[in-house]
Amino acid sequence: MHGLINRAVQCFIRDSYGRERWIEIATLAELGFSDFEAMLHYDDALTWDVLDAAALSLGVPRETVLEDIGTYLVSHPNVEALRRLLHICASAIFLCALNY
């Protein structure tokens, strides 16, 4: 999984519940580090481990965590730069698809 996705999950937890909760989730997921690097690639299983640890820590189903992350990505002021990046990438993908 691209690190940008994992970093978005981390930022959601940190911005919504605090750094201490993120550290707890990282420990539950047995990451071995405290912060994701947006430009690295991580094993997909690691992402699912983090989402499962978040669900356990927050006491909600994984689906709820994913929905909340989606809401965070489209509404939280801290991720405006990420929204712009996703918009640009989506536009580029659309333009490339037109060439096929």
**Which domains does the chain carry?**
3-98 (3.90.1520.10)
Q: What is the pLDDT of residue 43?
A: 94
Q: pLDDT tens digits for 48-94?
A: 999 999 999 999 999 999 999 999 988 888 777 777 777 777 666 66
pTM of the predicted structure, to 2 decimals = 0.79
Q: What is the pLDDT of residue 62?
A: 96
Q: How far is CA 45 from CA 2, 17, 49, 70, 75, in A?
A: 12, 23, 6, 20, 27
Q: pLDDT tens digits for 27-60?
A: 999 999 999 998 899 999 999 999 999 999 999 9
Q: What is the pLDDT of residue 95?
A: 62
User: What confidence tier does 98 reach under pLDDT thresholds 50, 70, 90?
Assistant: low
